[in-house]
Structure 1
Amino acid sequence: MANQHVDGLDKLVTFLAKRDGIDKLVKTFQYVGKLMHLYAQHRHPDVADRFKKLELASGIARKAFRSGRFLTGFNCLRKTTYPDWKVCGLAILANAGEMIYFFFDHITFFSRVGFLNPALAPRSCFYSAFGEGFGYIFAMMADSIFISRGLSEERRVRDKIRQLEREDPGNPSSTEMHKARARISQLRMDRVMRLCSIAACAADLIIAINDVEPNPFVSHPLTLGVSGLVSAWAGWYRLWPGV
């Protein structure tokens, strides 16, 4: 029993058991709905209306799923150890933005469902989006620093591998060689995950700008739909079990 094979369904169940996993699934529904509404609104208005309802309902549902999420950023700051002051400073700013984002997102949710005064929704949505965009900028900066440092470390590890090959060409499977190659694999995976994080943050930043300072480009349904799916699918990849 201990060696049972874990298949795709097992991974999907594990993925959907996480709050973030459900969020990415419903986010996919939301932005597929937006894109399909754009596609069908002039061809099949009745179908377009259904997709618009899917988009709106998914957006409200995601806000409900995120209840209490503003505490995550605070807890992250409280528990995480950072390698230096630069990363620590960026993490503080990124998590502060996230806390503002989720706190006002809760107010937006209660306003839009009618529990609070609906007039609060536009202002709370603005503050939420501002905090979101603010946090994502610093999160991307922190990820960029880690990617740069990872590339530098990978070059050093490659130099070490070449040195080991010169010193002991007849033993390519030595313990040191295995450790060095494993470290390179680890650095590459970390880089992929951070690139996914940057892609998701950049896509969500576009969506946040639409709420803070709308313009014809960021406010176009195609821009928002594609950005939402990029963010959702980057999150799928990062959260998928076994990746």
Structure 2
Amino acid sequence: MEGEEKKKKKRDFLLHLEAYLAKRDGVDKLLKISRYAAKLLLSSGYVLGNADLAPRLKAFESSVGLSRKAFRLGKFVQDLNALRSSAPDQILPFIAYGGEGIYYFVEQFVWLCKAGLISPRHSKRLQKISAWAELVGYAGSVAMKIEELKKIQLKLRSSREAEELRGLREKMLVKRLSIVQDLADALMAIGDVRDGRGVLSGPFVVASAGLLSALISARKNWSSC
């Protein structure tokens, strides 16, 4: 085990980066960081007075958002497979994977609307369905991860081996970060459901939540590849 850890630490950075960028999620999260960093700059007000930079940042943010939708084509299949492998009597995986699967499926049609193949008049309705499905999925995901976190905590109390304790603590950290990420994404989904109305749906809050979610997800993907 120690040999594997040393090997992981000595891993060449460029080879690690290549493995990270070869994954769809790896590229998607870099795009997400770029998009919400741009949205954060725009919402902060520092660039709004710049007649040259502000329009370019808005165009960049919009373009990256459209690219991410295209990049996630077919991603709903992973949720279908997750549902198939879940126990039929468990409701939380059904809510989590079902909601997320519907979200990714509908998002394909949102992309087609924005790309011009489907009439734009359907865009708002599709986006509303997508946002509600995403919110339901995150609610199920958070509840499911809290249950998993409780199981890890029970194992942590009963474990005595130092190596196993380190592994369980790392799992607990990853799970907690994943819950924070889901809550941040859920906050953005609430903003979409409410059409940007309310204090928690303001541009700065949504941009901050999006950037936080992207950074956590990028960290998880980097560690896993």
- Indicate the residue corresponding to 2:102 in structure 1: 100
CA distance in 1, matches of 2:61, 2:168: 38
- Provide Cα deviations, 1:150-191, integer angstroms capped at 9, x if missing partner: 11111111xxx3xxxxxxxxxxxxxxxxxx222211211111
Aligned pairs, number: 216
What's the offset of the Cα at 1:241? 3.6
1:33 matched to 2:43: no
What's the offset of the Cα at 1:242? 5.3
CA distance in 2, matches of 1:17, 1:217: 38
What's the offset of the Cα at 1:8? 2.1
Q: Is the 8 A contact 2:188 2:210 kept in 1?
A: yes
What letter is aligned with 1:238? K
**TM-score with structure 2 setting the length:** 0.90
Tell me the secondary structure at the aligned position of residue 168 of structure 2.
helix
Q: Is there any run of 5+ residues in structure 1 with no aligned partner, and where?
A: 162-179
What letter is aligned with 1:109? W
- Indicate the residue corresponding to 2:163 in structure 1: 182
1:54 matched to 2:35: no
- Indicate the residue corresponding to 2:197 in structure 1: 215
CA distance in 1, matches of 2:95, 2:131: 15
Give the share of equivalent positions with the same residue, in percent: 30
CA distance in 2, matches of 1:56, 1:218: 22
Give matches, 1:3-14, under 5 Å: 5-14=10-19
**TM-score with structure 1 setting the length:** 0.83
- Indicate the residue corresponding to 1:173 in structure 2: none
Q: Is there any run of 5+ residues in structure 2 with no aligned partner, and where?
A: 1-6
- Indicate the residue corresponding to 2:91 in structure 1: 89
CA distance in 1, matches of 2:110, 2:66: 9
CA distance in 2, matches of 1:104, 1:29: 24
CA distance in 2, matches of 1:233, 1:122: 28
CA distance in 1, matches of 2:101, 2:193: 17
RMSD of the TM alignment (CA)?
A: 1.9
What's the offset of the Cα at 1:76? 1.2
- Indicate the residue corresponding to 2:148 in structure 1: 146
Q: List, as ranges, runs of 4+ consecutive aligned residues in structure 1 with deviation greater than 6 Å.
A: none
What letter is aligned with 1:149? K
CA distance in 2, matches of 1:242, 1:71: 21
Tell me the secondary structure at the aligned position of residue 199 of structure 2.
coil
Tell me the secondary structure at the aligned position of residue 45 of structure 1.
coil
What letter is aligned with 1:50? R
What's the offset of the Cα at 1:236? 0.8
